[in-house]
Structure 1
Amino acid sequence: MSFADLKRKSQTNFDFLQKELEKSSSGKNVDERFWKPEVDASGNGYAVIRFLPAPEGQTLPWAKLYSHAFQGVGGWYIENSLTTLNEKDPVGEVNRRLWNSGADEDKETARKQKRKLQYYSNIYVVKDPKHPENEGKVFLYKYGKKIHDKILAAMQPEFQDETPVNVFDLWEGANFKLKIKKVAGYWNYDSSEFDSVSALSADDDELEATWKSEHSLEAFTNKDQFKSYEDLEKRLNMVLGITQRTAVPTVDSEEYEPVAATGGFNDPDITPQSSFRQQMSAPSPVKEEAIVEDDDALSYFARLAEE
Structure 2
Amino acid sequence: MALNLDAMRGKLDKLNGKGDGSKNQFWRPEDGENNVRIVSTPDGDPFKERYFHYNVGTSGFLCPKRNFGDACPVCDFANKLWNEGTEESKKQAKDLFAKQRFFSPVLVRGEEDQGIRVWGYGKMAYEKLLTIVLDPDYGDITDPESGNDLKLMYGKLPGASFPRTDIRPRPRKTILCDDAVGGDERCAELLETIPSFDDLFERKTTEEVKSILDQFMATDSGNSEVVKYGTPTGGSTNAVESAFNDLLNS
Q: TM-score, normalised by structure 1?
A: 0.57
Q: Is the aligned partner of 1:281 residue 2:239?
A: no
Cα distance change, pair 109–126 in 1 and its aligned pair in 2 (3 A): same
3-state DSSP of counterpart to 1:220: coil
Aligned mates of 1:36, 1:212 — CA distance in 2 = 21
Q: Is the aligned partner of 1:124 residue 2:104?
A: no
3-state DSSP of counterpart to 2:109: strand
Shift in Å at residue 125 of structure 1? 1.7
3-state DSSP of counterpart to 2:88: helix
**Does the Cα contact within 8 Å between 1:122 and 1:140 map onto a contact in 2?**
yes
Whichever residue aligns with residue 196 of structure 1, its letter is P
Q: Percent identity?
A: 19
Please name the residue that 1:33 is paired with.
25
**Does the Cα contact within 8 Å between 1:49 and 1:176 map onto a contact in 2?**
yes
3-state DSSP of counterpart to 1:123: strand
Please name the residue that 2:76 is paired with.
93
Q: TM-score, normalised by structure 2?
A: 0.68
Cα distance change, pair 234–215 in 1 and its aligned pair in 2 (3 A): closer
Q: Cα deviation per residue 1:249-277 (whole Å; 9 max; x = unaligned)?
A: xxxxxxxxxxxxxxxxxxxxxxx887544
Gaps in structure 1 of 5+ consecutive residues:
1-28, 40-44, 128-133, 247-271, 283-307
Shift in Å at residue 206 of structure 1? 4.8
Q: Is the aligned partner of 1:106 residue 2:89?
A: yes
Aligned mates of 1:154, 1:114 — CA distance in 2 = 30
Please name the residue that 1:180 is paired with.
154
RCO (CA 8 Å, sep 6+): is it higher in 1 or 2?
1
Shift in Å at residue 135 of structure 1? 4.1
Cα distance change, pair 30–213 in 1 and its aligned pair in 2 (3 A): closer
Please name the residue that 2:217 is paired with.
240
Aligned mates of 1:245, 1:165 — CA distance in 2 = 58
Shift in Å at residue 59 of structure 1? 5.0
Gaps in structure 2 of 5+ consecutive residues:
1-20, 227-239
Whichever residue aligns with residue 38 of structure 2, its letter is F
3-state DSSP of counterpart to 2:200: helix
Please name the residue that 2:51 is paired with.
66
Cα distance change, pair 147–115 in 1 and its aligned pair in 2 (3 A): same
Aligned mates of 1:124, 1:48 — CA distance in 2 = 9
Whichever residue aligns with residue 203 of structure 2, its letter is F
Aligned mates of 2:113, 2:75 — CA distance in 1 = 42
